[in-house]
Amino acid sequence: MYEGVRWWRRLWALLDEEPSTQLDDLARLWAVMAFEQGWLEDPENWDIDPDHIRKRQIWLEREAPRAVRESIPDWLDELGERELGAAWDSVLSSLNEKSVVDLRTNTLKGTREELQMRLREDDIETVPIEGVPTGLTLKVRKNVFATKAFQEGLFEVQDRASQLVAPLVNPQPGERVIDACAGAGGKTLHLGALMKNKGKVLSLDIHEWKLEELRKRARRDGVNIVETRVIESTKVIKRLAEGADRVLLDVPCSGLGVLRRNPDTKWKITPEELTSLRQTQAEILKSYSRMVKPGGTLVYATCSCLPSENQEQVESFLKDHGADWALIEQEIVRPDQGRGDGFFAARLERKRSTTI
């Protein structure tokens, strides 16, 4: 299913037909994909001429526009090239690769080595991820959610790049930390583990159902310093002004860095929606940054590859508020670097004498 969505445009180009969602046409599309992948030797029973498909494959590789070959909307291909230049070819190709399954060890309940041993009992082999102390990756994709290790809260499924964000926040035991766009709480749980369950992590989101899922996960993982709060109005943020030692803003974004896991995103997102997202990001950065105490830390993060959602947002913020904030470091992870999904994170420090 995912592969059909991922290669939707390319597969129809192989058939040399207009896209259709009729069941019979979708069945033929599956047959084309199976033939190209080598799962189906003879597609003629599906009313498909294999010689025609082979000729179209040659055309795709030699003459077809990149957007068709890599199966992406024209406008998104043009945007990627405009923002990433020569790197876009490699980035786009990597976004069409199958994703791996990475795990984050819950260090409140054990070590990475102990987790490996427990998973091996369920015939699940893993490999430590270099440069990510809590990370393991599965050698073979399996249903890890059915394991006792998962039910006991020994790990979370979390991409290796995503596991770099909470350490960049660098929360210390006893501090008050805010995860301001918490969602279902993957990074909240990581923050709590890094704090050794000492202090407070306040997790905010506009959706109560996501926070409910976070609370379930926190109970399973044994993270008991989490408090959740729904953002029902701007008053919630105003009341927390200068109330946090550290704030994480994992803001809403295009999700273009995680197309390997969510290939449908490239067909759903529109230029208008992307423009709206950029505006939302800028507003969140300006408004939510006020929750950081003077001398405190702010981390702005996205799962996008686009500089317009990442470096440029931080640059714009500092242009307006540079007297009060300093950029300490940035982490840019491209999906073609072997370090996981496309992610961005910037750590800023609020100066002790501020005016915002």
The pLDDT assigned to 35 comes to 83
279-293 pLDDT tens trace: 999 999 999 999 999
φ and ψ of 180, to 5 deg: -85, -15
Tell me the pLDDT band of 44, cut-offs 50, 70 and 90. Answer: confident
d(CA 339, CA 20): 36
d(CA 181, CA 117): 34
Distance of CA 20 to the CA centre of its chain: 30
Write out the catalytic residue numbers.
303
Q: Domain ranges for the chain, please list them.
A: 2-71, 102-157, 162-350
16-43 pLDDT tens trace: 888 888 888 788 888 888 888 878 777 7
The closest of 104, 36, 45, 28 to 71, measured between CA atoms, is: 36
Picking from 56-60, 155-159, 171-175, 238-242, which range would have the lowest pLDDT averaged per residue?
56-60
Residue of higher predicted confidence among 1 and 37: 37
Identify the helix (H) or strand (E) that includes residue 345.
strand 343-350
Give mean pLDDT, residues 235-243. 94
Question: Quick check: do 102-157 and 162-350 share a fold?
Answer: no
CB 133 within 8 A of CB 115: no
Integer-rounded Cα Rg, in Å, for the chain is 23
Largest CA distance in the chain: 74
Tell me the pLDDT band of 354, cut-offs 50, 70 and 90. Answer: low
d(CA 244, CA 230): 17
d(CA 266, CA 309): 16
Angle at 257 between CA 157 and CA 77, to 5 degrees: 150
% of residues, the chain, pLDDT over 90: 83
Residue of higher predicted confidence among 185 and 45: 185
d(CA 4, CA 9): 9
84-136 pLDDT tens trace: 999 999 999 999 998 999 999 999 999 999 999 999 999 999 999 999 999 99
Q: What's the chain's average pLDDT? A: 94
Tell me the pLDDT band of 77, cut-offs 50, 70 and 90. Answer: very high
The pLDDT assigned to 27 comes to 85
Give mean pLDDT, residues 230-235. 93
The pLDDT assigned to 43 comes to 75
Fold classified for 102-157: Alpha-Beta Plaits (3.30.70)
d(CA 165, CA 57): 41
The pLDDT assigned to 19 comes to 86
126-182 pLDDT tens trace: 999 999 999 999 999 999 999 999 999 999 999 999 999 999 999 999 999 999 999
Q: Which residues pair with 157 in a beta bridge?
A: 103
Does 340 score more than 80 pLDDT? yes
The pLDDT assigned to 355 comes to 54
Which ranges of the chain would DSSP assign to H, the alpha helix? 2-6, 8-15, 23-37, 50-62, 66-69, 74-84, 88-95, 112-121, 148-151, 165-169, 186-194, 208-221, 234-238, 265-268, 271-288, 311-321
The pLDDT assigned to 179 comes to 97
Picking from 219-228, 248-257, 295-304, 335-344, which range would have the lowest pLDDT averaged per residue?
335-344
The closest of 249, 107, 242 to 176, measured between CA atoms, is: 242
Does 306 score more than 60 pLDDT? yes
Per CATH, is 162-350 categorized as 3.40.50.150?
A: yes
